[in-house]
């Protein structure tokens, strides 16, 4: 290895100084201003350049002894000239103006010099679409603060520091660019305590010429993306002067290894992301935007990233085990689980269901349901000896197997079998029912339908097909005792979907249950969101009736229950929004209504009263006429 001679070191130093001088020479000359009044005059007379619109306005702000301030407002777009300000030590400039344009060729939107203080406040912005936003050539203690608003560059650095002893403080707002905050000056201090500093490359860079410079991140969100960001979040903050950044407090420093090969992630994961110790970063969504959810202590937020797609995570499911019955599977918490007991062994009849940790809607019914908790569940059908009576044996039943759906069980020939397809898988929608056993479906294209049981076992299968682009599946299932459908199998966000439920013999419609999708039902209708929706129709037995064709009796409800509405006919249809079935509300005497008796009695009393009134009036008139005749005599 060759070592550098004294001459070569001298040449290197001269070249470095020449480069630094070239940078300074490329920047526009700054106007010297020793007072706030001079800055106000300069800003108010500033020409943003040809093709620009708008004007800046500067006024004097609150002043203290020996110190003045300048407040800048207004809106300028399409600026092509650099605003150069030399701020004295006793002057503060508060920037609340919107200043944007395209200034390239080594120039910036605003060039700062001197030893004063420049602060971008809420509502203010400095945006360069083709170069540096803020350039700082400090001559000692020049201070740049971003407490709100926006400082950004679409193609370069947002804040570029040269000179000595400058400080950059970000306590709020948004600072974004490529190599967003860059310091090539000596003894620069960069502090981030709030807001966000983001880059499509490294977020903060201290060059090897920036000796004695420091970076302190105690809050806010610092983000960078590039190939090879792995292991440590400090990869998005580069200090070429041999120092390391100080990361403390509630700071979140996050890096994304963009070149890892994908821009599609699952919500709740942190694939290809790194962050500092104590912080949490995960892919997430906020409305239609995809990005990163971050948190450390009280510092929480969402950072949107264009070009990234974050898909919702599949819901967590839990296992249901059904002993001596059907309905087992995996279900999400809150879903309604329908279970059916197997046919009773010879000499036995169904007794009851037993389960720990769940409440069964009808534990004494062979067909029942429960709401899935956030844990695995085991339910068991138990049987007891059949009564020793001379009653005829139960009708022969045959097995119904439902693939990808519910409604399976044992049924007598001629019984009506209600079946419902499971919710469609992601990206699919219900297509049709198929069977090789010769049964005829009431509607083979409806996810909830029925057929008449033949004298043999039957297997039916729910089939699915791809959803049209931009549409989501509408899944409608039915509990024991009926069928249910929507007017469409799929819909696009914003479409109106109408639901219809039809109860079977011995049952009445009770309510709709939203299984998933986060919708609000209004009168049996809802507006389609941007995701699949699953709803279920819930039915309950009519008191005093049993379900024909099913091996085991259906448990009835208490007729005295004020919430129970019965129907005298064998079935009913619930129009959108119905929660009860029209029927005989006239009492227990075959429809005899005491209200009509009361109305008739009131009418008879009224008529009798009027007859009595006119009779008495007529008698009195006759008496008066008689007295008058006597007096005339």
Contact 189, 145 (CB under 8 A): no
> Which residue in the block uniquely carries the two structure tokens 């005059």?
41
Residue range 309-324: mean pLDDT, rounded: 92
Averaged pLDDT of the chain = 83
Whether this prediction's pTM lies above 0.85 is answered by no
Nearest CA-CA partner of 453 in 406, 401, 404: 401
Residue 580 backbone class (left: φ over 0; alpha: ψ -120 to 50; beta: rest): beta
Contact 580, 508 (CB under 8 A): yes
> Which residue in the block uniquely carries the two structure tokens 């990361």?
247
CA 502 remoteness from chain centre? 32
DSSP 172: S
Alpha-carbon distance 181 to 168, whole Å? 9
- Angle in degrees, CA 201, 207, 213, rounded to 5: 115
Residue 602 backbone class (left: φ over 0; alpha: ψ -120 to 50; beta: rest): alpha
Residue range 131-155: mean pLDDT, rounded: 90
pLDDT at 102: 94
pLDDT at residue 2 is higher than 60: no
- Pairing between strand 416-421 and 405-406? antiparallel
What residues have CB less than 8 Å from 617, skipping those under 6 apart? Answer: none
pLDDT at 391: 62
Confidence of residue 570 (pLDDT cuts 50, 70, 90): very low
Q: According to the per-residue pLDDT averaged within each range, which of 125-129, 586-590, 604-608 is highest?
A: 125-129
Confidence of residue 116 (pLDDT cuts 50, 70, 90): confident
Which strands make up the sheet holding 405-406, listed edge to edge?
Answer: 405-406, 416-421, 448-452
pLDDT in tens, 188-208: 999 999 999 999 888 999 988
Three-class secondary structure assignment of 50-114: CCCEEEEEEEECCCECCEEEEEEEEEEEEECCCEEEEECCCEEEEECCEEEECCCCCCEEEEEEE
pLDDT at residue 17 is higher than 90: no
Residue range 307-312: mean pLDDT, rounded: 91
Nearest CA-CA partner of 526 in 538, 514, 537: 514
Residue range 112-122: mean pLDDT, rounded: 92
DSSP 550: B
Residue range 553-581: mean pLDDT, rounded: 37
pLDDT at residue 171 is higher than 90: yes
Residue range 63-72: mean pLDDT, rounded: 85
Question: Phi and psi of 562, rounded to 5°?
Answer: -65, -15
pLDDT at 547: 52
What residues have CB less than 8 Å from 447, skipping those under 6 apart? Answer: 420, 421, 430, 462, 475, 476, 477, 485, 489
| Least trusted range by pLDDT, from 1-10, 74-83, 93-102, 113-122 | 1-10
pLDDT at 66: 74
Residue range 23-45: mean pLDDT, rounded: 65
Alpha-carbon distance 279 to 455, whole Å? 65
Alpha-carbon distance 436 to 438, whole Å? 6
Residue range 259-284: mean pLDDT, rounded: 88
Residue range 107-124: mean pLDDT, rounded: 92
Confidence of residue 400 (pLDDT cuts 50, 70, 90): very high
Alpha-carbon distance 234 to 256, whole Å? 12
For the record, the structure tokens of 130 come out as: 């083709």
Contact 320, 377 (CB under 8 A): yes
> Which residue in the block uniquely carries the two structure tokens 């000692």?
140
Residue 555 three-state SS: coil
pLDDT at residue 587 is higher than 80: no
Alpha-carbon distance 290 to 264, whole Å? 10
Contact 82, 109 (CB under 8 A): yes
pLDDT at 393: 67
Alpha-carbon distance 398 to 339, whole Å? 17
pLDDT at residue 292 is higher than 70: yes
What percent of the chain has pLDDT above 70? Answer: 81
Residue range 334-355: mean pLDDT, rounded: 94
Confidence of residue 621 (pLDDT cuts 50, 70, 90): low
Which residues, in sequence order, are bridge partners of residue 117? 92, 143
Residue 81: half-sphere exposure toward Cβ, Cα within 13 Å: 18
Residue 375 three-state SS: coil
């Amino acid at each position: 290895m060759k070592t550098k001679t004294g001459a070569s070191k001298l040449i290197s130093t001269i070249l470095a100084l020449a480069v630094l001088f070239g940078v300074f020479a490329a920047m526009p000359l700054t106007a010297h201003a020793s007072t706030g009044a001079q800055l106000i005059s300069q800003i108010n007379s500033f020409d943003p350049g040809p093709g620009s619109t708008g004007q800046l306005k500067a006024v004097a702000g609150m002043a203290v002894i020996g110190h003045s301030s300048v407040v800048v407002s207004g809106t300028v777009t399409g600026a092509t000239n650099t605003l150069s300000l030399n701020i004295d030590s006793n002057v503060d400039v508060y920037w609340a103006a919107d200043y944007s344009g395209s200034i390239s060729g080594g120039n910036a939107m605003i060039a700062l010099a001197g030893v004063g203080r420049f602060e971008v406040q809420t509502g203010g912005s400095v945006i360069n679409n083709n170069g540096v936003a803020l350039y700082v050539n400090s001559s000692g203690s020049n201070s740049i603060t971003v407490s709100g608003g926006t400082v950004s560059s679409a193609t370069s650095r947002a804040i570029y520091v040269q000179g000595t002893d400058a400080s950059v403080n970000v306590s709020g707002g948004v600072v974004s660019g490529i190599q967003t905050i860059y310091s090539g000056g000596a003894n620069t201090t960069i502090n981030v305590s709030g807001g966000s500093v983001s880059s499509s490359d490294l977020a903060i860079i201290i060059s090897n010429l920036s000796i004695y410079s420091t970076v302190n991140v105690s809050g806010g969100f610092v983000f960078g993306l590039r190939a090879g960001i792995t292991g440590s979040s400090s990869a998005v903050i580069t200090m070429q002067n041999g120092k390391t950044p100080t990361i403390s407090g509630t700071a979140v420093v996050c890096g994304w290894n963009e070149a890892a090969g994908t821009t599609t992630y699952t919500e709740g994961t942190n694939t290809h992301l790194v962050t500092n110790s104590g912080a949490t970063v995960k892919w997430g969504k906020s409305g239609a935007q995809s990005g990163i959810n971050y948190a450390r202590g009280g510092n929480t937020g969402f950072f949107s990233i264009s070009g990234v797609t974050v898909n919702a995570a599949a819901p967590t499911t839990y296992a249901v085990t059904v002993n001596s019955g059907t309905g087992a599977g995996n279900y999400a918490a809150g879903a309604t689980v329908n279970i059916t007991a197997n046919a009773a062994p010879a000499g036995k009849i169904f007794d009851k269901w037993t389960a720990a940790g769940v409440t069964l809607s009808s534990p004494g019914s062979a067909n029942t349901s429960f709401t899935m908790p956030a844990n695995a569940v085991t339910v068991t059908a138990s049987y007891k000896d059949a009564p020793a009576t001379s009653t005829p044996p139960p009708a022969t039943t045959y097995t119904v197997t439902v693939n990808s759906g519910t409604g399976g069980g044992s049924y007598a020939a001629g019984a009506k079998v209600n079946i419902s397809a499971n919710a469609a898988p992601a990206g699919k929608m219900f297509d049709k029912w198929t069977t090789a056993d010769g049964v005829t479906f009431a509607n083979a294209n409806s996810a909830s339908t029925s057929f008449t049981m033949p004298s043999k076992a039957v297997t039916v299968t729910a089939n699915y097909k791809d959803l049209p682009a931009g549409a989501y599946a509408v899944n409608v299932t039915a509990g024991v005792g009926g069928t249910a459908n929507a007017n469409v199998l799929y819909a696009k966000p914003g479409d109106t979907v109408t639901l219809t439920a039809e109860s079977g013999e011995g049952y009445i419609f009770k309510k709709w249950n939203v299984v998933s999708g986060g919708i609000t039902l209004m009168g049996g209708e809802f507006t389609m969101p941007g995701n699949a929706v699953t709803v279920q129709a819930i039915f309950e037995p009519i008191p005093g009736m049993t379900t024909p064709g099913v091996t085991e009796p259906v448990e009835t409800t208490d007729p005295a229950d004020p919430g129970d509405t019965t129907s005298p006919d064998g079935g009913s249809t619930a129009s959108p929004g119905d929660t009860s079935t029209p029927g005989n509300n006239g009492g227990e005497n075959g429809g005899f209504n005491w209200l009509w008796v009361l109305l008739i009695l009131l009418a008879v009393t009224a008529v009798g009263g009027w007859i009595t009134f006119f009779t008495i009036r007529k008698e009195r008139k006759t008496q008066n006429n008689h007295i008058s005749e006597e007096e005339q005599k």
